[in-house]
Amino acid sequence: MIETQATVTGLDGAYALVEASQGGCGRCHEKGGCGGNNAAQLFCHGPRHFRVLNPLNAQVGDRVAIGVPDGAVSRSVLLLYVLPLLLLIFGAMLGGWISAFSGSRDAGALLGALCGGGTAWFLVRYLQHRSAASPRFQPVIRQRL
């Protein structure tokens, strides 16, 4: 489980709105750390705000430890980066192969890539929407600090 510390800034039913001063697990400079926070600093400065499950009924102002379940991050990476890339390449190859018989291979590859990318967009939206409600993939307050 990847964990980080945050402060509860608001409540929303079974969820808490939290502000994390740092992103990721905090192991950026340690051996085995991914350095993801270093890359995130290029695009996003300052605190980050999240909506997380609140099974401990933490109150506004509480310092808490937030955990992201194992597998949630890698599943998101596969879903958002790898799946669209594979479908785009597959679509381009299929379109190029089908249109090779008519002589306009490049146009067919472009059309196939667009179809593969469009299919990936709809598929990713469907899969993300389906897994968004699952507690297996949602960040959760693990403990009060």
Domain ranges of the chain: 2-68+137-144, 73-132
Q: Give the pLDDT score at 35.
A: 56
- Please return the burial class of 141, using the count of CB atoms within 10 Å of its CB with bins 0-12, 13-18 and 19+: buried
Q: What is the pLDDT of residues 15-39, one digit of tens each?
A: 999 998 665 555 565 666 665 555 5
Report DSSP state, residue 33: -
**CATH number for the 2-68+137-144 domain, one of 2.40.50, 3.90.930, 1.10.150, 3.30.300?**
2.40.50
Beta bridge partners of 7: 19, 63
Q: Give the pLDDT score at 132.
A: 74
- Angle (nearest 5°) at CA 20 between 36 and 134: 80
Q: pTM value? A: 0.61
Q: Inform me whether the pLDDT recorded for 119 exceeds 90.
A: yes
Q: What is the pLDDT of residues 60-84, one digit of tens each?
A: 999 999 988 777 778 888 888 999 9
- Angle (nearest 5°) at CA 55 between 50 and 59: 65
Answer for the pair 6, 50: CB distance below 8 angstroms, yes or no.
yes
